[in-house]
Chain A
Amino acid sequence: MRSDRTGRSGRSPLMLKLAAGAGLLFLHLPILIIFVYAFTTEEKSYQWPPPDLTVKWFAIAWERPDVRDALWLSVRTAATATAVALVLGTLCAAAVSRTRFFGREAISLLVILPIALPGIITGIALRSAFSLAEIPFSFWTIVLGHATFCVVIVYNNAVARFRRTSGSLIEASMDLGANGFQTFAHVILPNIGTALLAGGMLAFALSFDEVIVTTFTAGQQATLPIWMLEELVRPRQRPVTNVVAMLVVAVTFLPILAAYYLTRDGDQVQGQGK
């Protein structure tokens, strides 16, 4: 009876390992193939296996002005959208978690809604709004589009931390002679800092690889993901696209990893003295 049970439990982890390995392979093999093609010498078609390997595409990608422009636009967009999100998301989270007012729950829901809404709806809505208001497409229309979902990310992170930070900390600070600014600098910011950093990095990563909303709000401008999409239909220096893909993966994956580690250890309630 006993040996039978151990025998079975000895077999099932092997099956489980195989299944898990197959699942991970299914998820990540295509990405690995993308990486491999960044080093191929064949530039017209995706030939497997690559006839030969080279690193020249990295230099070529760096030299191409369209890649540089797209990269620069993406970085500026992501940075600006994140900055806007940090300010608005934090203020909104502070208002919702620190005060009680009529319609508080509704506001909370409305702030979170853009992330639940399909990107295509957000995109179409913004595009019609811009054309109704006769706002021409510009850098700021892209930023605005991205800010709609970046605010949600920052808000969610900040609101969770605010809830875990005891309200009497702020009163204690005021009681000990700190005015509003001092309290913000010495008590509130150190307590929500990692949450904001994590939220900001997630927002940056989301903005950096966003396609759907951007297609509706960018006009003729190309952010890096849009540029890649356009590049796929033009068979010219194809591996350059793969080099850019590696860059996008790095820029989006590293912040998400960092955000995970920053918020992982924050489970205990901040400032709950008991």
Chain B
Amino acid sequence: MTAAVLFQNVSRHFGRIRAVDGVDLEVAAGEFFAMLGPSGSGKTTCLRLIAGFEQPDTGHIEIFGETAEGIPPYRRNVNTVFQDYALFPHLSVLDNVAYGLRMRGIDKAARRREAAEALALVKLPDYGGRRPAQLSGGQRQRVALARAIVNKPRVLLLDEPLGALDLKLREQMQEELKALQQALGITFVFVTHDQGEALSMADRVAVFNEGRIVQVGAPAEIYRRPRTRFVADFVGSSNVLPPEFTERHGGGRRWSSLRPEAIVIATAAPEGSGPGSLAATVLATYYHGATTRIVAEAEMTRLNVLVPASAGLLRPGDRVWLTWQPDDLHAMEDHA
């Protein structure tokens, strides 16, 4: 099957800044694909390369099998939901949504009908007559979404679409975006710096750092089997452990990742202590509602442990034992 988006060794440099540096990427048709990374990691430039706002310096880009480099944005069957929504302030909501159809020369009655349908799809059926300035942030977000999907693009690009919304609204929009993507069957490429958003919404995630893709995979794979220290650190907040520690606890001489929730904490020494067991001292506890984070020190190493809030109270200075399944101590690619 043809890939929705294909990058072959694509680079885009701005002067001496390597915004995108030799990226290979394949997004499958119908996939919800997230590009995750800190700011300046190249994820937004990758999105702009797909949209056509940037052209690659080297490398090759295909969108559904068609060469994309050299094709201007207005001749690509790709639409973007912008971070600041970029609604036209001088047009009504309906005219905003109908803009793409108007540019394609579709007659007024048809484009008004289709725009109204798109507005109904994003649950703003009666807002067509308003101006963008009269809408709330969440409503503008929906209009921007309607304006993009009304053109039935083959790929929908979303640039931090939920960044400006408050937490409650963001969770609601996450569900709606996911439902919309499944209903429309359009390939979504989604840029975010929020690892929780990427893990919960995407079919696959590409983790970006310094213009390169560090790891691509399903959310569970990225989370449980981070390839490098950067991924372990950026996705979730893992315990990144030095090679000596890994070696002592049954792994090779490599950096390793141990997820805080994979550690079991006990106040009594376990019977027949195996390789995955460690005496530690509690340094601090942090209450998070559903969970409690415990910071413990063992073998001169600090470890974060996440336990259900219902677990017994621990105090700084308490002597505890940490155990984990040998499989959970995941050795990464970084050597000593």
Contacts and interface: CB of A to CB of B under 8 A. Distances in A.
B2 to A, nearest CB: 23
A166 B103 contact: no
Interface residues of A, number: 23
Interface in B84-121: 84-90, 99-100, 103-104
B35 to A, nearest CB: 18
B79 A166 contact: no
A271 B83 CA distance: 12
B90 A273 contact: no
Contacts of A272: 84
A170 B195 CA distance: 30
A175 B79 contact: yes
B137 A274 contact: yes
A97 interface: no
* Interface-central residue, B73, B75, B104, by most chain A CB under 10 Å: B73
Given A182-B103, A274-B164, A174 B85 contact: no
A176 B103 contact: yes
B53 A171 contact: yes
Nearest to B85: A273
A29 B103 CA distance: 57
A36 interface: no
Contacts, number: 81
Interface in B18-53: 51-53
Nearest to A191: B90
A173 to B, nearest CB: 7
Given A168-B82, A169-B88, A187-B88, A177 B144 contact: no
Contact of A268 (B52, B87, B133): B133
B34 to A, nearest CB: 20
A262 to B, nearest CB: 14
A176 B82 contact: no
B88 A177 contact: no
B73 A171 contact: yes
Given A271-B86, A271-B88, A172 B80 contact: yes
B286 interface: no
B39 to A, nearest CB: 17
B142 to A, nearest CB: 12
Of listed A175, A190, A268, A272, residue having the most chain B CB within 10 A: A175
A271 B87 contact: yes
A174 B73 contact: yes
A160 to B, nearest CB: 16
B89 A274 contact: no
A270 interface: yes
A168 B147 CA distance: 14
Nearest to A274: B164
B143 to A, nearest CB: 9
Contacts of A169: 86, 88
A178 B137 contact: no
Given A171-B73, A182-B103, A272-B84, A176 B89 contact: no
Contact of B100 (A177, A268, A271): A177
A161 B175 CA distance: 38
A175 B103 contact: no
A99 interface: no
Interface in B42-86: 51-53, 72-75, 78-80, 82-86
A131 interface: no
B236 to A, nearest CB: 29
A179 B164 CA distance: 29
A190 B151 CA distance: 23
Interface string B122-154: 000000000011000100100010010001000
B137 A176 contact: no
B74 A273 contact: no
Contact of A176 (B83, B90, B100, B140): B100
Contacts of B147: 176
Contacts of B84: 166, 168, 271-274
For the complex of A and B, list the 4 residue pairs with the smallest distance between their C-beta atoms, beginning with the closest: A273-B85, A176-B100, A172-B86, A168-B86
Interface of B: 51-53, 72-75, 78-80, 82-90, 99-100, 103-104, 132-133, 137, 140, 144, 147, 151, 164
21 contacts: A166-B86, A168-B86, A171-B73, A171-B80, A171-B82, A172-B86, A172-B87, A174-B72, A174-B73, A175-B52, A175-B53, A175-B78, A176-B100, A177-B151, A179-B72, A179-B74, A186-B99, A191-B89, A191-B90, A273-B140, A274-B85
